[in-house]
Amino acid sequence: MMLRIRVFEEMVGALVTANEIRTPCHLSIGQEAIPAGICAALRQDDSVWGGHRSHGHYLAKGGDLNAMMAEIFGKATGCAQGRGGSMHLVAPAQGIFGTVPLVAATIPMAVGAALSAKLRGTDQVAVAFFGDGATDEGHFHESLNLAALYNLPVVFVCENNFYSTHLTLKERRVKDNIVESAALHGLKGVVLDGNDVTSVYQAAQEAVRRARSGAGPTLLECRTYRWRGHVGPAADLEVGEERRRELDEWQRRDPIAQCRELLSARGVSSDLFDCLEADIRAEVDDAVRFARQSPGPDESELLHHVYVSRRGV
């Protein structure tokens, strides 16, 4: 799954550079262990809620790769019928009810989904994915408080990549202490290496088990780094003098390379990796072909889903 997210996003980046994709794309290259590790601990009927950087959340939760590529191309076969682009991904059957690029907007939605599960008496779990920048918003704190107060089955996953657009964590907060918000609001908080897919998966399993069994919400602060710029395929090396050094350091901790080393040490052959990579590249190439060949939305549908008409149109 990590490789699928990586290859998909590298392709999107290349197509943005080629000016074939023209919707803004926020790439999560370098952060793949988080969606892959968290979603591996979920069931299909659990929900995930994401934001502007959610290609990985969508794929890891089971969203269709062709439908996402077509959406990014703005085609009628896209998961949001070509109306949303990269930042509005939706696949209700897979528990993805819409990613929303308003920072922190989907954190309370995850809490709402968890409240709904509790009221309906199901054991479904809701997961909110959000960045460190979202923890600067009031919604984050209100959501943690309510989830703890009502003991809701929700897992808050902060993908702390230390940047909110071009502002570092240090420029935005006195302390590097996001996880402490959990204790403040009365829920369990865990800090972990977000580039280690095994740690992420194990923490997710425990948080999901707690949520499902009625033991309440958890905040997971997953520390990671995005290799590309805030938006688009470039590396954003001009944003600050620290960026080059940080990038070098974090690229040495590539989540995919680390996982590959772990598996090799346990006897998985390099041929298997090569086959896997070839299959994924073919899958992504197919998605590009599908998106290119798909029709655009019909002009006559431009105002559909925008206004509610009394005549029911």
Ligand X SMILES: Cc1ncc(C[n+]2csc(CCOP(=O)(O)OP(=O)(O)O)c2C)c(N)n1
Residues lying near Mg ion in the complex (CB under 5 A) are found at 131-133, 161, 163
CB of 139 vs ligand X, minimal distance in Å: 9
Taking CB within 5 to 8 Å according to partner kind, which of ligand X, Mg ion, none is near residue 66? none
**Residue placing its CB nearer to ligand X in the complex, 102 or 237:** 102
* Cβ-based nearer residue to Mg ion, 34 or 67: 34
Binding site for ligand X (CB under 6 A): 52-53, 101-103, 130-134, 161, 163-165, 230
Comparing CB distances to ligand X, the nearer of 105 and 215 is 105
Q: How far is the CB of 123 from ligand X (least distance, A)?
A: 29
Whichever of 173 and 305 has its CB closer to Mg ion, that residue is 173
Q: Which of ligand X, Mg ion, none binds 210 (CB below 5-8 Å, type-dependent)?
A: none
Terminal C-alpha separation, the chain: 41
Answer yes or no: are the C-beta atoms of 200 and 192 closer than 8 Å: yes
CB of 230 to Mg ion, least distance (A): 9
Shortest distance (Å) from residue 134 CB to Mg ion: 8
Where does residue 194 fall: left (phi above 0), alpha (psi -120 to 50 degrees), or beta otherwise? alpha
Residue 49 interacting entry, from Mg ion, ligand X, none, C-beta within 5 to 8 Å by type:
none
Task: Tell me which of Mg ion, ligand X, none is bound by residue 102, counting a contact when its beta carbon lies within the kind-specific cut-off of 5 to 8 angstroms.
Answer: ligand X
**d(C-alpha 234, C-alpha 105), whole Å:** 26
Q: In angstroms, rounded to a whole number, what is the distance separating the alpha carbons of residues 310 and 313?
A: 8
Report the residue number, 61 or 223, with the smaller CB distance to Mg ion.
Answer: 223
Minimum Å gap between C-beta 31 and ligand X is 8
C-beta nearest to ligand X: residue:
131
Q: Which of 132/196 has CB closer to ligand X?
A: 132
**Which of ligand X, Mg ion, none interacts with 257 (beta carbon under 5 to 8 A by kind)?**
none
Q: Which does 54 bind (CB under 5 to 8 A by kind): ligand X, Mg ion, none?
A: none
Tell the smallest beta-carbon distance from residue 125 to ligand X (Å).
Answer: 22
Q: Which is nearer to ligand X, 66 or 164 (CB)?
A: 164
Residue 165 contacts which entry, Mg ion, ligand X, none (Cβ below 5-8 A, type-dependent) = ligand X
- Kindly tell me which of 37 and 133 has the beta carbon lying closer to Mg ion: 133
Question: What does the buried/exposed string (b/e) look like for 189-209 if buried means 16 or more CB atoms within 10 Å of the residue's CB?
Answer: bebbbbbbbebbbebbebbbe
Contacting residues for 251 by C-beta, under 8 A, at least 6 apart: 30, 227
- Give the up-direction half-sphere exposure of residue 194: CA atoms within 13 A in the CB hemisphere: 26
CB 137 to ligand X: min, Å: 7
Shortest Cβ distance from residue 51 to ligand X (Å)?
7
Choose from Mg ion, ligand X, none: what does 52 bind? Cβ within 5-8 Å by kind: ligand X
Q: What are phi and psi of 156, to 5 degrees?
A: -95, 120
Specify whether the CB–CB gap between 62 and 50 falls below 8 A. no
